[in-house]
Structures are given as structure tokens and as C-alpha cells.
Amino acid sequence: MSLKNLLSWSKTEFSQLPWRQNRSLYRTLVSEIMLQQTTVGTVKNHFERFLVRFPTLKSLASASEDELLVAWKGLGYYRRARNLKKIAEALAKDHGGEFPHDLEALMEIPGIGPYTANALVGIGMDKRALAVDANLERVIARLLNLKTEKGLKLQKEIQTLFVNKKIFNEKLSFRELNEALMDLGRTYCQARKASCELCPLKKDCLAFKEGTPLSIPMMKGEEKKKAVEHELHLLRVFVMKKDKVLVYQKGEKEWLSGQYEVPTFILSTTDKTLKQYPSFPKGAKADPLFTFKTGITKYKIQNSVLLMGEKEFKALAFANKSEWRSTGDAESNFSTATLKALAKLNASR
């Protein structure tokens, strides 16, 4: 298999990505955790800003959770941020702030699984390792026309072929290989769209030769079910006192765990099993000032904002413990929806 065209294309098109500049294992770790479940475009907008706040492994390890979550804001899936800090703490405490240089030792560190370990070795250290994410799984399955069902079994099959040097046995940069395959899966070789005529590997791709790229990898039950989306209408209650607002901290099993949010109620939802917020009491008055839209996982959210006095709010018997926080404190770790609403409220004053 000739990979020259692939590597050349990747370097020409994507070498400017910020995590591919000023290489270090710490920058590689941060970027790989950020890129899990998040688009490249979103990470580009947050990567350098996060590293300005936490330029070293030590600075991240010693950060408070509030500092961490404020810096992570906009990237979503906040469990990844806590996991990143857990890794930094373990490296600082048990490894003198240094990264082990082999897969087995890396995977002994709490928070580092097979993918992250392979990414650190293959991309961070430029050693022989293959970081099989969804993009690599799809690209390699199509290249080899593998008929194994998508998932752990297919990933193990790909790793076995790689470890036994049945694939990618050429003399090359494994950093460039991993990144090029990721680039290919993100652009020309997508799950539901294959731009084969533009692909630098089309001459080597067995699925392309058979004319069946979109059928590879095979999905469970032969067809991937479309994810169900739900409508959610929330009422955000703002109780203000001078420059302070009444908020509560989200619990460990709640969305946006650790962040502060104004008391919030469900007005309506198509998901009758949702228990993230209480329902707004029947008979209580709700005359919102304005609405705005947000989204999280499978929910399309319409947010209605209501100003309320302390006495009136107490009558709602909101179950979570609330506290006053300054609206001008940049380190308050307010949720994005709370910040958006505060900005609109301030603009309307």
C-alpha cells in the first residue's frame, strides 16, 4: 500500500492545526482528550486558550475543579475534563510529571485507556502505535474491505493486523500516519458520505474497488438506527439581588456536573423519562421575559427566562440548595445557558 499521497495530502491541508504545532506529550494529551466526542472546529477555538490557563502538567494537576471547568467551558462532556485532571494528578504524583514511554505503563495510569495510550505513543512519541478511533476504524475497514461488525471486535482485528505487521509495515512516521488516517475519516471517508474520487488512497481501497464503501464497516443489525431527538422546554428562574444571582451547583449525575445554574424547571418535554429538572408547579405563574435555544446530547432545548422575587421563589419549593453568587465573577463557573441569559438580561436593562 502506497501511503505517500495520503501523508502529503494531510500535511498540506492540516499541518496548521494548533495541536500539531509546538509538539509535546502534554499538548498531545490535552488535544486527544478534547477531541473525543468534539469536532475539530470546536477544539480549535478552545485549545490554546486552555493551555494559556494551564501551560504545564503541574499547573493542571494543582488546579481546583472550578478553575478546570471554567477553562473547559464550551467543549461539553465535562467528565473528560475531570478525567484529564485525574491523569495529570497521577503523572505528577507517581511519575515525577513525566510520561511513561510504553503502552502497558501508560494504561496503568488512572484515566488512560487503550486509545489514549496508543495516541500518546503513536502521535505524541512518533513510535509504532495505532490509535484506533471511529475514523481509523472506518477508514481501515474500508481499505481492507473487512466484513467484521463495527465495534470492539473490529477494532481488535485491526490492532492484531497492525501488531503482526500485516498492515502499515512501511518505513514512515507513525505520527503522520495516525493523523492522516484521522484526517481522511473526518473529510473524504465519512460514515454516511464517501468522496472516493477525492481520496488519496482510492487506488488501494478494496471497498472502493467493489463499489461498496458505505456498507463498510457493517453496522449492528445491518442498519444503524437513527438517534431519537427530544424537544425540551425549560424555565430558567432568575432571582437577583444587586449584583448577585441565586444559583445551585449541579450534582455528579446531572448534566454539567459541578457547574452553577439558576433554578430550572421543566415546562414540557417529549421525553417523559427525563429527571434532570423538576416540573414547574401547576398553577404557578410563568410570564417569561424572553426565550433562547440551546442543545445537549439528544435534546433540543427552548429556554424561557423568568425574573422572580425571593418570596415568590420560595413558594416554588425548589429542592436543590441555592446560594448567591456574583454575576461579574469570571471564576463563578456558571453554565453556558445561565451566562447567555445573564447577558440578555444585562442588555435589556
pLDDT at 77: 87
- Where a domain ends, among 221, 243, 274? 221
pLDDT at 219: 85
Same domain, 138 and 119: yes
Asked whether 58 and 92 are in contact (CB, 8 A), the reply is: yes
What CATH number did the domain enclosing 111 receive? Answer: 1.10.340.30
Count of domains observed in the chain: 2
Q: What is the DSSP string of 24-61?
A: -HHHHHHHHHHHTTS-HHHHHTTHHHHHHHS-SHHHHH
In whole numbers, what is the pLDDT of the chain averaged over residues?
92
CA distance 164 to 187: 29
Same domain, 207 and 315: no
* Cell numbers standing for residue 107: 494504561
- Where a domain ends, among 221, 248, 269? 221
What tens digit of pLDDT does each residue of 67-95 get?
Answer: 999 999 889 888 999 999 999 999 999 99
Same domain, 215 and 129: yes
Residues of the chain with pLDDT under 50: 222-224
* Cell numbers standing for residue 128: 509504532
Same domain, 61 and 184: yes
Domain residue limits at 47? 4-221
What tens digit of pLDDT does each residue of 296-324 get?
Answer: 889 999 999 999 999 999 999 998 999 99
Same domain, 212 and 246: no
What CATH number did the domain enclosing 249 receive? Answer: 3.90.79.10
Same domain, 22 and 133: yes
Catalytic residue (one of 32, 89, 137, 179):
32
Active site includes 32?
yes
**DSSP type of residue 321:** P
Same domain, 155 and 236: no
Same domain, 197 and 293: no
Same domain, 170 and 248: no
Same domain, 194 and 259: no
What tens digit of pLDDT does each residue of 153-193 get?
Answer: 999 999 999 999 999 999 999 999 999 999 999 999 999 99
pLDDT at 224: 47
Residue 23 exposed, middle or buried by CB count within 10 Å (0-12, 13-18, 19+): middle
Same domain, 236 and 153: no
- Where a domain ends, among 186, 221, 256? 221
Same domain, 209 and 147: yes
Asked whether 163 and 169 are in contact (CB, 8 A), the reply is: no
